[in-house]
Amino acid sequence: MKRLETKVALISGASSGIGAASAIRFAQEGAKIVICDIDEAKATSVVQEIQTAGGEAIFARLDVRDESQWISAFQVGVSKFGYVNVVMNSAGIAVPGNVETMSFDDWNKELSVNLNGSFFGVKHAFKNLKEKGGSIINLSSIEGIVGHPEYAAYCAGKGAIRNLTKSAALHAGRSGYRIRVNSIHPGYIMTPMVGNDPVELERLAKLHPIGFLGEAVDIANMALFLASDESRFATGAEFVVDGGFLAQ
């Protein structure tokens, strides 16, 4: 039996990067996938890749800032597959700016996607998972644990996701819901957000004691563990996958 054979996973930000890698990895292990994003063309490409490999996936448009679209995305998944029991909040942006110079508009732009989007994802995951249980996976960052001087809003949002995860996990447990809520904290990963400038990639790699940058599949494999029943005793926890960055 495959590790996620009984799972239906709804993944935000699933058209590229860690979201797409997680969708593909989950499908390889038997999960049915609801690919959610605002970029329909890229998301459809991920759907087709999964289907070509023999998996099951559908697309649901989702702007994570819009609560009504969260409701619709879950309706699409439940209508097609009967239920959703894994939710991964991986949509995110990184708007540069330090606390002294950052505009309030940029601050709000960042938090509306990363933090508000995760809040809506957790809120509506509870509505859909609390009857039968399941797993919620929130994508935070090493910069949800330590700071970066030039990404004030990004650090604030990712730090808030870290503790939103813990609050939601406690609420689930004390309410008797069989819902687990955990966060993943990647180091620098080779995704579109990090870019492809070779000089910058070399500089970033040197920040990690392991000596190289992670790939999206490295985070997808951790998400796979958290989506599976193998992690049944893990909730309210933060899982760091960072090549040793935070060990320094």
CA distance 248 to 245: 6
Residue 3 belongs to some domain of the structure: no
Residue 74 belongs to some domain of the structure: yes
Per residue in 135-146, pLDDT tens? 999 999 999 999
- Domain that includes residue 189, residue range: 8-247
Residue 70 belongs to some domain of the structure: yes
Spans of the chain, pLDDT less than 70: none
Q: The domain that contains 61 carries what CATH number?
A: 3.40.50.720
Q: Which residues 6+ apart lie within 8 Å of 24 measured at CB? A: 46, 49, 50, 53, 220
Residue 2 belongs to some domain of the structure: no
Residue 46 belongs to some domain of the structure: yes
Q: Which residues 6+ apart lie within 8 Å of 229 measured at CB? A: none
Residue 91 belongs to some domain of the structure: yes
pTM: 0.97
Predicted local confidence at residue 110, as pLDDT: 98
Predicted local confidence at residue 195, as pLDDT: 82
80 backbone φψ class: left, alpha, beta (φ>0; ψ -120 to 50): alpha
CA distance 213 to 216: 10
Predicted local confidence at residue 219, as pLDDT: 98
Residue 155 belongs to some domain of the structure: yes
Residue 1 belongs to some domain of the structure: no
Bridge-based pairing state of the strands 32-37 and 134-139: unpaired
Predicted local confidence at residue 214, as pLDDT: 95
Catalytically annotated residues: 154
Number of domains within the chain: 1
Predicted local confidence at residue 164, as pLDDT: 98
CA distance 164 to 238: 11
